[in-house]
C-alpha cells in the first residue's frame, strides 16, 4: 500500500505561562528552558508524524498563539481554518483550567474550526502543587468529546504521544485545497526533518494549510 501524505493546520491555545511554547519546542526541537519568553502574536513550527496503519505521513503545521489577554482578539485569525487545536492549561493553576473551558467553547462555536480538539493538562512534573485533578479534567473532556492527556514539557511526558493521537484522529482522505489566486503567506517547501519558527506580526495574514502535500 502506497504511503499517503497529509498536511493539517493545528493551533495551540491557552492562558499565558501554561507552557504552550514549551510543549511545541519540546515536540519539535526536543528542548526545554525554564525561562521561555512570552510569544508575541504567534509562532510557527512544523512536525511530522508517521502512522503505520494505514501508512501515512502527517505534517502538522503548528501555530503557537500568545496567551496574554491583550492578544485574545487576534486568536480567531490563527484558529480559523485549523483542523486541530490543543487547549493547554496548567495543572497547578485552577484559573487556567477555567479559561481552557472558555477556549473550548469558543472553538465549538466556530463550526468550520478544529475537527479534533485536545485538552492538555501541562506541568504534571509539579505534582505536589497540583490543584486540578486528573479525574476532573478527564470528566470534562469526556463530556465534551475532547482528546485528553496530561503532559510535562519539562520531562517530555506525553508530548509526542499527544500529537500522534491527534494525527491518528484527523481525516486522511481530504482533497487538496483549490488555489484562490491570492498571494501565499505560508512558509513552503519544508523538508521532513525541517522545523522553522516564524514570529507572526499583526499585519501578517494567516493561511489555512489544509490538504495533501508533495
Q: Is residue 185 part of a domain?
A: no
Q: Is residue 107 part of a domain?
A: yes
Q: Is residue 192 part of a domain?
A: no
Q: Is residue 195 part of a domain?
A: no
Q: Is residue 135 part of a domain?
A: yes
Beta strands in the chain (DSSP E): 4-14, 42-51, 56-65, 84-90, 116-122, 147-150, 198-200, 211-212
- Total domains in the fold of the chain: 1
CA distance 33 to 128: 21
Which ranges in 41-171 belong to alpha helices (H)?
75-79, 94-108, 134-143, 159-169
Q: Is residue 191 part of a domain?
A: no
Q: Is residue 114 part of a domain?
A: yes
Which residue's C-alpha cell is 526536543? 30
pTM of the model: 0.79
Per-residue pLDDT tens digits for 75-131: 888 888 999 999 999 999 999 999 999 999 999 998 677 789 999 999 999 999 999
- The domain containing residue 164 runs over which residues? 4-176
Per-residue pLDDT tens digits for 147-200: 999 999 999 999 999 999 999 999 876 544 443 333 333 444 444 334 444 444
CATH number of the domain within which 74 lies: 3.40.50.300
Q: Is residue 200 part of a domain?
A: no
Amino acid at each position: 500500500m502506497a504511503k499517503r501524505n497529509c498536511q493539517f493546520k493545528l493551533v495551540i491555545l491557552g492562558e499565558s505561562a501554561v507552557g504552550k511554547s514549551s510543549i511545541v519546542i519540546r515536540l519539535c526541537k526536543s528542548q526545554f528552558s525554564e525561562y521561555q519568553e512570552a510569544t508575541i502574536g504567534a509562532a510557527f513550527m512544523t512536525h511530522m508524524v508517521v502512522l503505520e496503519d494505514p501508512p501515512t505521513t502527517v505534517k502538522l503545521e503548528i501555530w503557537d498563539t500568545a496567551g496574554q489577554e491583550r492578544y485574545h482578539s487576534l486568536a480567531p485569525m490563527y484558529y480559523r481554518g485549523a483542523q486541530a487545536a490543543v487547549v493547554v492549561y496548567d495543572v497547578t493553576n485552577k484559573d487556567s483550567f477555567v479559561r481552557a473551558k472558555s477556549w473550548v467553547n469558543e472553538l465549538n462555536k466556530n463550526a468550520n474550526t478544529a475537527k479534533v480538539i485536545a485538552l492538555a493538562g501541562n506541568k504534571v512534573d509539579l505534582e505536589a502543587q497540583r490543584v486540578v485533578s486528573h479525574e476532573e479534567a478527564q470528566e470534562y473532556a469526556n463530556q465534551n468529546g475532547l482528546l485528553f492527556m496530561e503532559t510535562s514539557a519539562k520531562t517530555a511526558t506525553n508530548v509526542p504521544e499527544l500529537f500522534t493521537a491527534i494525527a491518528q484522529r484527523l481525516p486522511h482522505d481530504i482533497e487538496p485545497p483549490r488555489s484562490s489566486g491570492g498571494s501565499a503567506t505560508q512558509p513552503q517547501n519544508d523538508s521532513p526533518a525541517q522545523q522553522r519558527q516564524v514570529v507572526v506580526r499583526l499585519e501578517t495574514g494567516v493561511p489555512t494549510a489544509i490538504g495533501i502535500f508533495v
